[in-house]
Structures are given as structure tokens and as C-alpha cells.
Amino acid sequence: MIHLRLCFIGFGHAGQALARLLLNQKESLARRHRCRFSVTAVATRSRGGLVDADGIDLERVLENIRSRNRFSTQDNSLSSLTPTEMIRTVPADVVVEMTPLNISTGEPALTHIQTALSAGRHVITLNKGPIARAYRKLRDLAESSGKRLLFEGTVMDGFPVFNLVRETLPGCRILGFRGVLNSTTNFILCEMEQGKSFSEALAEARRMGIAEADPDQDLDGWDAAAKTAALINVLMDSSTTPEKVDREGIRRLDTEDLEKAGREGKTVKLVCEARRTDDGIQARVAPVPLVLSDPLARTEGASSTLTLFTDLMGPVTLTEENPGISQTAYAVLSDLLTLVRHIY
């Protein structure tokens, strides 16, 4: 039986969903994968932190958040350590990085990941910023530390994009890709196709919990550009940043543009694409009218579609339908199980 101690940096929706998943899957993980996980530290921005080297009682913590939206002040495990101090000093095998995205700096996730690898922890991150900005540096640091850096949840949630290429397309070279990878903009475009105005569609996306309170990063294509950069850095062995991706968001589109596309038998999607050329890798994010037979055209609502162009296997298309927070939590679990197999 392998026992891995986890340090959670961030405990928002994803962290809480992960805690629930680990509780629900506890028996099955022990039986089928001969592993168990305990959480020795939880760092949050607004709720303070928890530390318990014997394992935090996740059930109680989740109950406190559900009923009172905070940790219990009676909790013996309450801690005033900063996230970086926790990463350095609390006994843990894996740091799970789940802080909010900052595309322009990658921080604080970038520092957390570097600190964790340098301190001899494996790292699993849901944060695409560091992968989009500094993958090569982090990969080299992980290698020299003899630790793993896993990040399946950064693109298409738990859908195994990076694992697919690494584990199941051996010998294939990725020549390029095309994808619809941002849920918020795709949901808005689908609603606008049904006749809603941009602001009505955005309000609906907020009501559904798809758009964030501040949706600028999605609407201006920054989130899509970060995913594009992450895919290029990892799958095409290059070194780019979101700023280097030619980028156009969806704000200039109005209902009439979508109606016009519809009359031509087309549907408009925010397409992420990259391809190898003689001048290096060309990458862009832009709204594109697609014919209905295009594999990306029928990406509905909050779904995602990605086509990878490979040298030996031709095009490989993956679709994730309307994922929720439990798919994000599964991304971390799948990375944890990859670690377990790596250790065996």
C-alpha cells in the first residue's frame, strides 16, 4: 500500500471537489490501486490555513465550509503559515497547486511550484499559467530534482490530453492542433446563435456558473491563448508564452455576425490553433466561421474539442462534453494515480 501525503495550495471549488472525490473513492483506491492519500496541509487566501501531519479530517473541514463558510476556530490544525512556508516545512509528498490563474505573471503558482520541486515534492497543478509561461524551466527543475510535475487539468479538465500524447501516441510527432477550448466564450457564442445579445448571453453564462465574476480573460481570448501556449510548450516541445499567440477575443462579434454566418451554413467558434511552419510554430486564437462538417463546429455549450495533427496517426479528435467541477477534480486524481504507478 502506497501512502501519499498531499499539501493543498488553494481550497476553492476545485479543492473542495477534490476533497470530496478522495473521500468517496477512498475504498476503491485502496482496493484497486493499493494507495491511500492524506492531506497534511491546506492553504487558502481568505480562510487561513490548516496543518496536521497526521492527516486533516477532510469531512469535518468540508462540513464547516458548507455550514459556516469558514474553518472552525476550534480546529487544532489551524495554522498561520504562508503557502510557501507550508510547502517548505509541512511533511508532504505531493503539492497540489490550485490557486487562481494569473496569466501575465503565472504567480503565485509559479513560485509555489518552484518551491515545491526544490523542496523535493512532486507537483500536480490545475493552474495553466506556469505551464503556458515557463514549462521548460519547470520541466528541467523537476528532472533535476528527480520529481514529477503533472498538469492534466490545465487543458480540457480531466480529459487526458497530455497523458494521451505521452502514454498512448508513442513515436508520433505533433505537427499542430486546432481546438475550441474556452467554455465561457463557446457558451456565449452558442447562446448568441439562439438570438440572445452578447450581454444577455454573458449574464446567462454567469447565472450558470460558467463565466467567472471577472470574465475579461475569457472574452479577450487570454484563457484560450494560455491553453494554446501550454499545448505548444508541452506537446510541440517549444517555448512560447500567451503574449506570443496571435489573439483576438469575441467582443467585436454581435448577434448579426452570427446570423450572417448561420445563413451561410456556418457557426462561429473561438478557435485555438497552432502549426509547425518553416519559420517556427505559428499560433493564433480567433473567432472563425466554421462549416458544419468541421469537427470543431458542433462543440456545444461548455464542451471542448481538440484535434491533434500527428505525423503517423493522422488527425486525432477528442471531445469533452459539458464538464463540471468533478471533472476538474478527476484531473488531479488521475495525476495522483500516474504518480502512484510511477512510484511502483
Binding-site ranges for its own copies (CB under 8 A): 21, 25, 28-29, 32-33, 158-160, 163-164, 167-172, 292-293, 295, 297-298, 300, 312-324, 326-327, 330, 333-334, 337-338, 341
To its own copies, the closest distance from the beta carbon of 190 in angstroms equals: 11
Round to whole Å and give the CA distance between 223 and 210.
Answer: 13
Nearer to its own copies, 84 or 319 (CB): 319
- Rounded Cα distance, 153 and 174, in Å: 20
- Compute the least distance from the CB of residue 239 to its own copies, in Å: 19
Smallest distance from its own copies to CB 112, Å: 25
Pick 87 or 306: Cβ nearer its own copies: 306
Closest among 63, 65, 22, 25 to 44, alpha carbons compared: 65
Under 8 Å between Cβ of 162 and 235: yes
Residue from 26, 128, 196, 227 carrying the catalytic annotation: 227
Q: Which is nearer to its own copies, 20 or 88 (CB)?
A: 20
Instruction: List b or e across 116-152, with b for residues whose CB sees 16 or more CB atoms inside 10 angstroms.
Output: bbebebbbbbbbbbbbbbbbeebbebbeebebbbbbb
Nearest to 174 by CA among 182, 158, 159, 162: 162
Q: CB-wise, 41 or 296, nearer to its own copies? A: 296
Task: Determine the Cα–Cα distance for residues 25 and 22; give it in Å rounded to an integer.
Answer: 5
Q: Rounded to the nearest whole angstrom, what is the least distance from the CB of residue 171 to its own copies in the complex? A: 5
227 is catalytic: yes
Instruction: Report the catalytic residues.
Output: 227
